[in-house]
Amino acid sequence: MQPPTLDPRRAVTQTADFSATIERSLAELSDLRRAMLAAESSVAVSRPAVHPAHAAGARNLAHYLALRAREMRPLQERLAHLGLSSLGRSEAHALASVEAVLASLGALGGARGSAAASPGPADFDIGARELAAHTDALLGPARDGRRVRILVTLSPEAAEDVARLRTWLEAGMDDVRINCAHDGPKEWRRMLEHLHRAEQACGRKARVLMDLAGPKLRTGPVEPGPCVVKIRPERDELGRVRVPARVWLSFDGERPADVDDAFVLPVDSELAARLAPATRAEAGERAEHANELEFVDARGARRSLRVVQSDRRGAWAETSQTSYVVAGTRFSRGKHELGAVGELAPLEGVVQLSRGERLVLTRALDPGRSAVRDAFGRTLAPATIGCTLGEIFGRVCVGERVFFDDGRIGGVIRSVEDERLVVEITEARDGGEKLRADKGINLPDSRLDLPALTAKDVEDLGFVVEHADAVGLSFVHRPEDVSELASRLGELGRPDLGVVLKIETRRAFERLPELLFAALQSPRVGVMIARGDLAVECGWERLAEAQEEILWLSEAAHVPVIWATQVLESLAKDGRPSRAEITDAAMSERAECVMLNKGPHVGEAISALDDILRRMQAHQHKKSSMLRPLRLATGW
């Protein structure tokens, strides 16, 4: 077979096209390099001086922003056709990447053009080194075999259990978070005391992040529900009882620490005396214990509980019947009265909302309630609920959107008055939604312009600087917010305290470069992607894009990122993960830290996340695929 002959005219044309591509790319990259250096000079002149530890990050962020301000896709395609880097992985070393490609282009083109000789030596490692050092400084050292840290939000219940905290530390928890929007110094101090005991027990330290509450707009109180306990067994799809309901009959009215999956009924002293274990002397003086407790529930239905075990604190009982028990419900055995149920706490109040109805948001924090209707279902008075920030009433407009409870309920403002807003509910499930007290309110279209530090935050800072390793700045959206926090920390003698910018509003996302430059004045800095609020503010369809951009800009600034909100949430709450959240957890390996929220199965979530992150580390680092040998690729 004869080899193909080369058409000389075609070869000349290809050579000319090749040379033209090189020359054009050289010119564009040289112009880009000049723009990047000009951006660096502009930042040095116009921005406050950054901390020496972040000098390289500030320069690189300026370079990267200059690069991303341009349409790069045609140039990227030409560079890829030439077999060169397309600059798609240049976040941590933007200028070095451009200079390396310029040098390669110059070599391909025979060093034609003055631009080819201009680049200096490229340092691709400085960004990775800086990011790793800043991550260690903020979040503590990494574990063997896992680069990404695991941050766990503490609940008061979990923090009371030293053994549980020790288990979490041993399973993979690296850092803990305390949300200052809940509880107070007394509870926080107790959480930290138990954490330190767990640390001593297992010989491992955890860094502490304390989030300031910030100007969080939340729903006010709601009228309490009835004082009733609904006891229900677990049933299968056909309504058959799978597991009887477990009921703890408490003699002292308390729920023991080891009772977390049962219905609890306080009982009076009369019934407690009959159920408590008898001594031999007592056994001869009173009748045998009643193991069957009969009663009539709140609906008039005859029900019974079977006592299966008792001790000095209370008694365990079981039932296969759904029952509604109220205070004063009398237990009997045959014709003999045995005692009664004691005082019950009211159920958490809710405001029922459906699409198309109106909700009145009030400045006053009077207890909210559902709509009042007549016998024909006509609305006599709309549903109402208070909101915690009266400042919003002069800053919102008719037609702007409002969301409640992480976007579960949505509406549009139809009327604005001095003391109230009227909202038409436009987004809710077909069966309606229940709005509870202390749920977040988002106003993505409104320019509230509220300072991030509230009077409560300033007060809480006194505790934070004494006990925490880092402070989370909630609802930050202006560089002035960051500067004010830095000033407060300096006044309190802790300018070295770590600062985490929580990006949870659209305005914060849109001003991220300014916020980063302001934060780089502090020695230890991080960014949290608060994906719950951010999804509501930016729109669910834009969340993936927004979190990518936050990751890119933070890496360009050599600043660690905390990937937060709803990570393995089903596993933490219900004990079973969804397929989607496993994929989400795998994607979180591109951050420097992943946060888990509260739930009864957090320990399982920590172990699962630790395993996922270790596995993914072998395949992925930031945006780069790591080409470890694949078993699938051998022996086919």
SS (H, E, C) 42-108: HHHHHCCCCCHHHHHHHHHHHHHHHHHCCCCHHHHHHHHHCCCCCCCCCHHHHHHHHHHHHHHHHHH
Of 153, 38, 5, 29, the closest CA to residue 84 belongs to: 29
Whether residue 117 has pLDDT greater than 50 = no
Report pLDDT for 119: 43
Query: Which residues are 403's β-sheet partners?
Result: 410, 442
**373-386 pLDDT tens trace:** 988 889 999 999 99
* Domain boundaries defined on the chain: 12-124, 129-215+449-622, 228-340, 351-428
Number of residues that make up the chain: 636
Q: Within 13 Å, how many C-alpha atoms sit on residue 221's CB side? A: 7
Are the CB atoms for 599 and 156 separated by under 8 Å? Answer: no
Q: Which phi and psi (to 5°) does residue 31 adopt?
A: -65, -40
Domains 129-215+449-622 and 351-428 agree in fold:
no
CATH class for the domain made up of 351-428: mainly beta
Tell me the average pLDDT across 267-290. Answer: 62
Report pLDDT for 358: 96
Tell me the average pLDDT across 577-601. Answer: 93
Contacts of residue 410, Cβ cutoff 8 Å, sequence gap at least 6: 401, 402, 403, 404, 425, 426, 427, 428
Report pLDDT for 286: 41
279 falls in which pLDDT band (50, 70, 90)?
very low
Distance CA 431, CA 135 (A): 46
Are the CB atoms for 146 and 617 separated by under 8 Å? Answer: yes
**206-262 pLDDT tens trace:** 999 999 999 989 999 999 999 999 999 999 888 899 999 999 999 887 776 655 567
How remote is the C-alpha of 110 from its chain's centroid? 53
Report pLDDT for 591: 96
8 falls in which pLDDT band (50, 70, 90)?
low
Computed over every residue of the chain, the mean pLDDT equals 89
Report pLDDT for 113: 43
Distance CA 359, CA 352 (A): 10
> Taking the domain 129-215+449-622, which CATH number applies?
3.20.20.60
Whether residue 284 has pLDDT greater than 50 = no
Distance CA 156, CA 178 (A): 10
Contacts of residue 310, Cβ cutoff 8 Å, sequence gap at least 6: 275, 276, 277, 289, 316
